[in-house]
Structure formats: structure tokens, C-alpha cells
A and B are shown apart, each in its own frame.
Chain A
Amino acid sequence: AQKVTQAQTEISVVEKEDVTLDCVYETRDTTYYLFWYKQPPSGELVFLIRRNSFDEQNEISGRYSWNFQKSTSSFNFTITASQVVDSAVYFCALMGGGSNYKLTFGKGTLLTVNP
């Protein structure tokens, strides 16, 4: 069985603060894929990043960065210098490496960035 845990239900920060969203996953697959999605109040799911299990290289994209550590089964997401527009629910998701590519989502973290 696959499981994704986002222990932080809600986080509130002030604009320009850095914030890290935690994600811990469980899977028996040796090959798997991890994702982060953003869901703003409008409801759509916006793809942010995909990471393969065999690629532990961290990634930075503008103000966003991701830290993937297989040793701790974690895939954390950091927003640097947060902005009000970053306010959304963020979901971490896991896809197994078998023939079925369904996504298993965490419960999500509601990030509120206050001006």
C-alpha cells in the first residue's frame, strides 16, 4: 500500500518569510514518482514538480525548491520569500512504478500568506 503524509494541516506566514511544507511517503515500490500540486481557491490542480525515485538531486525553480531524501522517505517543498499569491492548498502525491499510474495524495497543507 502507498501512503503520503503531510503532517502540517495549516501554515500561516507573513509575506517574505520562507516556509517549508513537509511530505513523508511510504511505498514498497523500488521505482516511484513524487509530485507536488498547488490548489488555489479557484480549485484547479496546478502541477509544480515531479521527481523520480532514482534521482535524488534537489531542484530549484525560482522561489521554489524541493529536497528529496530517500533515506528518510521525505520530499519537502520550500517557498522562499513567500507572497500572498502563494496562498493555496499544496498536495504531495505519490505514483507507484507498476503498470497502474494512479496518484495517491496526501491530505494537503493549507498555506496562508498574510500581507
Chain B
Amino acid sequence: AAGVIQSPRHLIKEKRETATLKCYPIPRHDTVYWYQQGPGQDPQFLISFYEKMQSDKGSIPDRFSAQQFSDYHSELNMSSLELGDSALYFCASSLEGQISYEQYFGPGTRLTVT
């Protein structure tokens, strides 16, 4: 079965640079979630989209923006990168209204800011 795809899997950037993370949800899934997991931390919710509209927002810095496109893939854009942005970024997808309410996680993108 197809899973959530995230690209790139690893990314190294320097301070003040920009990064774009991509997420391709499971086919037919209409909802995408982004989570940030710092070293030794639990995943923290950043933002979610349902049917290409932002549905919820967590502790996402103003330097970050995200959107969901017509094909349901999503991109997380991060500007003016800081050392503290180094983390594992997960994307998850789900199907709104599904009974299980299960979010299927991608393998994550490991971002290192030097």
C-alpha cells in the first residue's frame, strides 16, 4: 500500500537560508498535518490543511509558511533558518471523516541547520 512520501529525507542548510519540505499524502487522503520533533523531544503540531484550506495552526513560527496544493500535496517553507530549527519534520495524512481518525506518518525530513 502507498504511504506518505516526504522529500527530501535529509537536508542541510546554513543559518538564514531558506528550506522547502514536501509531503505527498496517501492517495485519496484530503488532510495533511505537519509536526516538528526537536532532538530528544516529542513531536509538536505545526499546522494542518483540509481540502487545501488551513484547518488548524499550532506553534508554527512566523518564518514558516505552508500550503496544500490542488493535488493535495503540501509544502512547508521555512525562511531565515535558525540553529533551533534543526529537527525531524513529519508529515501525516488522513481522510476526513474516516472512522479510525488515524494519521499516517511519513518517514520524516531531517533538517540540520549549521
Contact = CB atoms under 8 A, between A and B. Distances in A.
A109 to B, nearest CB: 11
Nearest to A107: B42
Nearest to B103: A103
A101 B108 contact: no
Contacts of B104: 47
Give the contact-size bracket for chain A. Answer: 20 to 34
Contacts of A106: 42
Given A101-B94, A101-B101, A102-B58, A43 B110 contact: yes
Contacts of B92: 103
Contacts of A100: 48, 55-56
A104 B101 contact: no
A33 interface: yes
B105 interface: yes
Given A95-B101, A100-B48, A105 B43 contact: yes
Nearest to B108: A43
Interface of A: 33, 35, 37, 43-45, 47, 50, 91, 95, 99-108
